[in-house]
Each structure stands twice: as C-alpha cells, then as structure tokens.
Amino acid sequence: MSVRLIFRCQFCDAQPDPLTQISLEKSVPELMWGQYEDAMPQQWLIWHGRGLYGPPRYACNAHRGDLVAYLRDHYGTIGPHPWKRPPYPTNLRNPDRDRAIAAGGRSAMPKWGYGPQVK
C-alpha cells in the first residue's frame, strides 16, 4: 500500500510538479520547529511550524511572500522564527536521522523492511 500525500498551496490551488512533490514529501517526517525550508525545483516554501507556530504550511513560488506575511502577522509576536530572512535551506535533514526514520525510528510499529529506503 502506498500513500500519496497531496500538497496544496495555502493561497491558491497550485499543486507541485513531481520533483517538487518529492521535496515536499521528504520534508514531512522532520522534527523541525519554527523553520522555513525551500522545496526545489519549483521553490515552494515550507513553514515547519508545530507547537505554538501552528501546523506545517506550504506555499507555491508565487505565494511565498504571502505565506511569510501571513506567518509574521499571526506568529510574529511569539518569537523570532517567522522573521528569518531568506535564503532558506533546501534541506534540513541529516543522514543519521534519515536512516533512523527509515528503520522505523519514528514509528510505533516495525516496518519489516517496507519502510522508505534511504539512498
């Protein structure tokens, strides 16, 4: 069984192209908090919110500025994270954590070899 995640821009109906979709999918297991990330190649902007900063949010390239403005408006008084200026990293992951996640480190159930493969 495979699960396809659907990403939509928060401000329009844009959906990412296949390569950007992959970048967005890779961002999901992260344990980031209050950080921006660029999803290439279409340059979608990911907001890793969580906690006080709300859910993760996504914006297409045309609406990156809208997302930043929205976040600063809603969360700008909580802390400095929404005010971070570009350039944003395109990859917040590190290989050790990727391997741990692929091995089921974030799951309550072992994956019996069917988990995502880290290359």
Binding region for Zn ion (CB under 5 A): 9, 11-12, 14, 60, 63
Closer to Zn ion by Cβ: residue 14 or 92? 14
Q: Which residues contact 83 (CB under 8 A, 6 or more apart)?
A: 72, 76
Closer to Zn ion by Cβ: residue 12 or 100? 12
Q: Which residues contact 89 (CB under 8 A, 6 or more apart)?
A: 35, 37, 38
Q: Which residue lies nearest Zn ion, judged by its C-beta?
A: 9
Closer to Zn ion by Cβ: residue 9 or 101? 9
Q: How far is the CB of 13 from Zn ion (least distance, A)?
A: 8
Q: Which residues contact 118 (CB under 8 A, 6 or more apart)?
A: 95, 98, 99, 102
